[in-house]
Amino acid sequence: MQLREDIRNIAIIAHVDHGKTTLVDQMLKYSGTFREHEQVDERAMDTNDIERERGITILSKNTAIKYEDTAINILDTPGHADFGGEVERIMKMVDGVLLVVDAYEGCMPQTRFVLKKALEQKLTPIVVLNKIDRPNARPNEVIDEVLDLFIELGADDEQLEFPVIYASAINGTSGEEPDEQTETMDPVFTTILDHIPAPKDTSGEPLQFQITLLDYNDYLGRIGIGRVVRGEISVGQQVVVLKKDGSQKTFRISKLFGFIGLKRVEIQEAKAGDIVAIAGMDDINVGETICPRDHPEGLPWLRIDEPTLQMTFLTNNSPFAGREGSYITSRQIEERLLKQLETDVSLRVEPTNSPDAWTVSGRGELHLSILIENMRREGFELQLSKPQVIIKEIDGVQCEPVERVQIDVPEDYTGPVMESLGSRKGEMLDMANQNNGQVRIEFKVPSRGMIGYATEFMSLTRGYGILNHTFDAYEPVAKGPVGERREGVLVSLEDGKASTYGIMQLEDRGMIFVEPGTEIYAGMIVGEHNRDNDLTVNITKEKHLTNVRSATKDQTAVIRKTRDLSLEEAIEYIDDDEYCEVTPETIRLRKKILNKNEREKASKKTKMG
């Protein structure tokens, strides 16, 4: 069997923030793929605004680097479990992986998750120990941790013989020893060429091309990205798509794109081993195989991760509806959600009994909150219900998603953290003291116990703790309530503007969410009550002026800092009888029933029922 020595296909995998996107930047720079004066942004692979702001990769991207006479196709994958479906499919397109591990943090939950997927596909690994320049880097211990993880995940003898490169992606240095760094990425490139297998050259056989990723373009429609597994593909060729239901559709390939650097370039043909994008058919989906008409032979179907969390998206019907957004109607929201389905294969959108509401299911809070954040930036207004985990029936047993949680905290905070996760039905798996006064604890916790936990965790550890969690499996539903909000809320009685006087009157009742001068409507949540019941309050109250001079008249009113909730915090915070109202400018919390008397009647009915 001939090999295509002119090409290598690798995926770059890592835990969030271990530096893989920065590493790809340096590889692009040092390979000479860009012209001398071409401006390259930092984290060039993260093209979406939210990716750049948060420093995370959401969508898998591919780039091609020319090194000497070899084209190296690199797929940058998300490190977050909510986008695990992308990671799994990308493994089918490559022959090896570059596993990037932080030289101080070591193996984290996502390292385990992405490495498990790579080993299952029998891919050849190379380990890059990044951030070797950190003053507290511990390369030898981390390599031992990585080796232990390989063994635990069932790596075979060949996979255990992985080469190690030590690098500082931010400084653009790499080497085969921690203290022997060269100011190039050559050691990384030569290790890829020496260790990653070249694809088999089967260009004389009938075509097989599998759609692994989807993109969308207003001019070309749907674009399918994948690897030519066998044979050759060319512009103008008549092919068939093998659909999931067994049917076949014929179409002509109108455009074919290859990749050079960060650009997509039009090409006329590609052959086995190439990673390309094709256009010409609107109705293509992930997992489908494209073949010649006279030889329809499908590849095994790609598994797509099922959603684990769902929320109701509704049109905004609050008193402030339509003030801040451009797109507010049910038709506009539905069109936008259906457009998202074009490229996001782990998302589900289902209609409800109401024409103004949809059940949207995704892989986790981050997955859904990024969709919501993109929508609000585009000018949409909508309301959201409390997230609910998706219960599945497995062998006649009701099962719920469970997450593997890893926590790094200073020793002083271990007691409160263990107690808080215990109350959320967490089960401790492991606990290890690090050499710097830190403790690493691993738990298994039902996913519903993790909704809203991040905020509580940051308070418990005064911001010193690091929390990571990733979907583990479905297990029988834990009995009893898990992670319910304990505190009630302060709800506005009237429409108006929050006044400094009104806020000061309420400060001893709990934490306030709104600043003085904020416009308020009756039924809007303006703070958290420090007891477990809801309290209706008048936050718009003004001080009555009198002509009596007070002895303390010159005292200036000083109010405590209010709590500003981010989108994720707001979604996690709401209860079953509340909505989160999202507009391009504001995030508000509100009761579903705005009128105080009607709300109290409904609450009595619920208790009696």
Burial class (CB in 10 A: 0-12, 13-18, 19+), 495: middle
561 in a labelled binding site: no
CB 303 within 8 A of CB 345: no
Q: How many residues does the chain have?
A: 609
CB 350 within 8 A of CB 362: no
22 in a labelled binding site: yes
33 in a labelled binding site: no
61-67: strand order across its sheet:
61-67, 70-76, 7-14, 96-102, 124-130, 164-168, 173-177, 180-182
| Among 231, 241, 318, 321, residue whose Cα is nearest residue 280 | 241
518 in a labelled binding site: no
CB 450 within 8 A of CB 402: no
Angle at 240 between CA 238 and CA 241, to 5 degrees: 135
Amino acid at 367: H
Cα 210 to Cα 239: distance, rounded to the nearest angstrom: 13
Q: How far, in Å, are 232, 312, 337, 594 from residue 354 at the CA level?
A: 49, 11, 16, 19
Cα 338 to Cα 372: distance, rounded to the nearest angstrom: 14
148 in a labelled binding site: no
| Among 249, 250, 359, 343, residue whose Cα is nearest residue 304 | 343
For 491, the token pair is 């709800």
Q: How far, in Å, are 154, 175, 289, 485, 603 from residue 120 at the CA level?
A: 9, 29, 22, 39, 51
Is the CA virtual torsion 116, 120, 121, 125 positive or negative?
Answer: positive
223 in a labelled binding site: no
β-bridge partners, 394: 397
495 in a labelled binding site: no
Burial class (CB in 10 A: 0-12, 13-18, 19+), 469: buried
Instruction: Give the three-state DSSP class for 92.
Output: helix
Establish how many alpha carbons lie within 13 A of residue 490's alpha carbon, considering only the half-sphere containing its beta carbon.
23
Is the CA virtual torsion 265, 280, 72, 106 positive or negative?
Answer: positive
**Which phi and psi angles does 198 have, rounded to 5°?**
-75, 150
Angle at 38 between CA 33 and CA 44, to 5 degrees: 70
133 in a labelled binding site: yes
17 in a labelled binding site: yes
Q: How far, in Å, are 391, 491, 591 from residue 603 at the CA level?
A: 26, 15, 12
19 in a labelled binding site: yes
| Among 605, 570, 602, residue whose Cα is nearest residue 586 | 570
For 432, the token pair is 């290890």
β-bridge partners, 67: 70
Annotated binding site, which residues?
A: 17-22, 130-133
Annotated binding site for GTP, which residues?
A: 17-22, 130-133
